[in-house]
Structure 1
Amino acid sequence: MKKIKDLLADLGNRHHKDLGKKLMAAVAALVMLGGMAGASTMALADDATGHGNVTNTRMDGNADQTSASYLSMVKVTSPGLSEPKHTKSIEYQGNGKYTLKLDVTGKDASTSTTTTTPIDIVLALDVSGSMRYPFDGYDSGQKLEALKKAVNSFLDETTKTNATIENEADKVAVSLVKYANESVDWIGDDNCRGGNCTQIVRGLTTNTDSLKNNVNRLWASGATYADAAMTVAERALSAGTRANAKKYVIFFTDGEPNHYNGFEGSVANAAIAKSKELKNAGTTVYSIGVFNGANPSEDVAYTSNTNRFMHGISSNYPNATGYRNLGTRASGDYYYAASNSAQLKRIFDDIQKTITEKHVYTGVSITDRLSGYTGQSGIVYDESAARIFDGKTFYKVTGGVTLNATGGAAGETPPVADTDYTLWYSEDGNGVVRAEFAESYELKNDMTYTLSYDVEPTDFAYQTYAKTGYDATGDADTGATSAGEAGFRSNETAQVCYTTDNRSNCVDYQHPVLQVPVANVTVTKEWADAQPADGTEVRMHLKGYDDAVDHMVTLNADNHWSDSFVKLAPGGIYTLRRGDRRLHQSRR
């Protein structure tokens, strides 16, 4: 008697594991426009009394063009958000069914939210004699007046920012330090040797509006004691009482570091050494130059001593010990240059806008386009509620797709269906699932939004597996049955699209794979009477899927007259033969 035994055996479930998957850094964008090719500014040899030789050079281009270049740069270097964290995975449910999960996690890098990290800022401003002169012969205003205008505009905007922060202890605090001649220990606006003392004019205060009065009374006279400036800036920061505050120094100059005239290397190195102490303690230092030849873009190996000094004093080089010993360049840009008064004000205005605007994800959508190997399972949609996305018709989903939210702050409410988001399905191609958030909805900080729905292999997947096997390998972190495993890709494309900082972008998800359920077919030869003679063999031939499947097993006494055809794809017609004689035909 001959028979096929255990047809489609071992179609049990596999073992699977679940896949789960500010005023903050407010001044991290306090940057100035890097010097640009073709631009030059006034050259002035400063001295202890404020007198020097002025050379007027007209700047190529105009303030608007220069500022536009700055804006394109600050968009790249601003402390906004990059792409959101997003993952895609597949989970086997048994019986040939899978669940696809696409998630995205919100992030709030805002600097003006109610939960903030306090920030202490020291503005170390050059009030040497050369600050009485204009940027160039075509600019009627003094550099000092241009600086006052820019700083006051910045303080106005900081006052507005502080008004949005309820807790006084979390507001932005700013200190004003002036520098020119030798330093004094007391707070004030005093004269030293006929010029400005280097001193704290106003200690850290959250009353930034009143600080404008101190700015407006600044006057220009003296040398450029950059070393004293950094020492006094450190003193101003140390006087702060907020241990958790992020600390920043904005070092502004229009000339070479010196106690008398020209570039003095000892003064430059002393200033860099003090700045290194600040940087080692976690302070971020920005340097801003408005002097002749200020150019952060030049190679430090070939640029001027003053440009090397400005790099070294800033956080561009955290381990710099001198202008000739800069160490390793850090990421980010902390030395910038401005070329005229209009640009200077515009830069301050744009920086303030950058550091206080909200950095969140809005206009978010998740779209998953299924591959020919994958079909949706159980999605219900309303064809009377249609909408067009990317030229394709989508219908509102009424069942079979979910969007769940987990994480976020304590008490944070999840999004509401049909108010904060809507689920859609398109019959285009092999099917497209889409979650569309309301344009104004902001993904909440550390909240993960997971789009889920069930899928199963298509007939095409079964046929392809039977004929040629799998054609892909699952990407990393896509699930226990997918990551690094052979299979068919579940989707053609999958993307999350979003807007942040007025920029829109889409990023791809990983590619999970699924497998078709397979069966082992065991064939046993049973002898009705006595066992055959030694050496007897029986060859069994199995064909299926239009002869794409063509397997042979040999039954004999050694295998107890039993063997198996393994990993057969269900869904096709299989024919079992002994030699050329058909013994059995079966369809799953």
Structure 2
Amino acid sequence: MKSNTKKRLIAFMLCMVLVLSSATSAFADEPQNTDSQSQTEAVAEPAADEATGDEAAVNSSEQQQQEEQQPEQQQQEEQQPEQQQPETEAPTVEAPAEQPAAEEAQPIQQLTYEDDNVKITVDAVESGNIPEGATLSVTPVIKQEITDSMSDEEKAKAEELNDQYDHTEKKLNEKAENETYDIAGFLAYDITFVDADGNKMEPNGNVKISMDYKKTEIPEEAKKALEEKNDEQNLDVTVMHLEEDEQGEVKEVVDMVADETKEATVETTETKEVEKAAFVTNSFSTFTITWKKDSATYFKLTLHHVDEKGNELPTTLSSDATLNYNSDISFSDYVEIIDNYDYKYAKVDKISGKTVTSAVTNGSSGKRAKLTLYNGKDNKIETLSYSTTTKNIYLVYTAKSTGSTGSGTIEDTAPQLSHQKYIKKKDGNNYDLTLNVSSKKGTTSSKKKFDIVLIMDTSTSMSNNNKWRNSKTAVNKLIDTLSSQTTVDVNYRLVTFGTTAQIQTNWTTGETVKSTLSNYSIKEDQGTNYEDGLVKTKEALSSGTRADAEKIIVFLTDGQPTFYKSGTSYAGPGSSTSYRVYQHALDAAAKLKCDRIIPVGIGLKSVEKYSYDSYSDQQKVPDSATVLLQNVANKVNATTKDTVFNSDSSGSNLSTKFSEIAADIQKFPCKNVTIKDTLSEYVETTANTKLQLRMVKKTTANDHDTYENQGKQEIPLTDEDLISTNGKAVSINEKNLGTVKYDSAKKQVTWSLGENYELKDDIYYYITITDVKPTTSAEEKYKTDKAYTNTGDSNTDASADGNYGTMGNANDSSSGKKRFPFQ
């Protein structure tokens, strides 16, 4: 019995050895780099459970041997007489080592691609779905910089890959146009099978593609979108498939995560860096890991304060009204009190357009957002949607003549100074009355000369979103504004730059520049070459300028530099900024010399950096396109270097900015200025009345004006020096600012700043007479006449219907009447 048992155990163990020694498995070959594009191929092999011919023969022989042994052993056991077991301990046999749990199912067919960043595996869902003899080809679609050191073949390959990247980006953005999101960035891969001759092959059925990243990945654009996102914006990651027809043209872009049949999943970190992705497909082409962001829509209404002829009027408020979802505004809230003008109405698009009173957005965000312009409560004039998010609104004012009330005056024999007068209500029936002045350049007898180079971006992107049209309109506005002035003499020269730059005109008149621009069309396939534009600007300034003219450069662009000069040709990534491109732009700017550089951007955002630069070189390139442009401008050898003005994405507010530029360059440092302010017969001072003199500095940044007090001096109206013949010395912020005196008989303040004091740019000089009130005769006249026929300055407090002035006393019958002017 013991002998039979031992034989059976030995036979069993021999069988196990044979079985284990005959087990086989097959794996795909290690991936091989076949070219500079990291294109890798792997050969399909049979999976482990599909035995080869030799393996099948061995397995069959072993099975037959075992089957023959089993009946013989069974017969011997049956013939063995049953014996009583002795009470001695039975012999022990060591159990074989613990076997692992059942192995996971081996793939039917599998191919693998691997590079430094990602491992991509293709598994057949069913046997035969990977064609026999097929190899796997994967090409990461990444932008490459084309350099002179490349061979012609390398350049051709790089250009082909760049074209594929641009095409992929275009198709993704086209899909987003009909969705509620925008494309924040993507990683693209061209995946296919090829046969032994290199011909592309499609799967015979569904295959599963798995992507395992060795380190988490996120495109730079998506990273910046994540950093800049607001509360209404989310970032999502999906897989897109650019499905092609039989001719290789993209017929549809499929969001594979949204399509349940694709069984697509994407795993990311909390910061939206991709770790893994998987999906099922039965066709190959370009696949992308795509970052999507909510397209939160903000409508921007650019407000123009104009007279009835369309001339811009001086204002201090912001020129824009921005609305997102669930917002509404009334245009009357944006009306300014402008000296000698009354507000009349608001018009859309032009001063002869339709009248509008308010704007209201719906409750949707993103691409479903809408803004409706109304005239009155229910009369809809126009509705804007996602594709059109900007409008020009003209707030029209009508000129009015001043009446017999007192008004401040400016005395200066040559320059015309801008001034403004307004009143502020205090407690009770008391008011503060203020007059301010600032300076401008130029006189009719001695015109200020300007030689202005207009350097304009003509890259292909300028043809989008009305940017080129709005740019031309803005330049025309600058030219027309300066042409209307009798105190300046301006010559212009036009330079354009795309992939390369050209000088379009000699030194000429504004009308010639306007005509040249009207006939200019943006060309296809044009990049942005800052360097060549700046080189041509230097050439333009090198001849024909006037010795006594102020040299000004206005640099207008909608994007980051993507090319640089390379000998007589050009080089660069084409759609991103390499450190070399950036440095070439800085070097060219450093060779320029002028009196003033004015950099202007159109919708500048974050900089797309060249991915093939080293990390240290990428860090040298600014993240912000606005900062990059500012750095270039700061390199110019200019007396004045303006802060970059960055308009909205369409440049709809450029005209306002260029009008401001025209006004700003005319500022003239004036001397021998005297400011007078006279109170009318209907105003009287009180025991608390003081004279307050102030200096305020105006600063404009990001299209927003801020005012900073530079100091003030307050003098009681009873001060002996103030009412003396010589007046009282004025000193503000340790600066001697002449003398001021008050004539009580004439109720007149006179501030003489002195013969040697020159008005400073961007400094406003204020006279405020505090705590004045209407006289009794004013109230009596109003009660008697039931109206007030004289008209005060428009820069006073106003009622909703446009009447200016102040109310009567609370206990007076006139208190129920509309306001009347008194200053």
* TM-score, length basis structure 2: 0.30
Larger radius of gyration: 2
* TM-score, length basis structure 1: 0.40
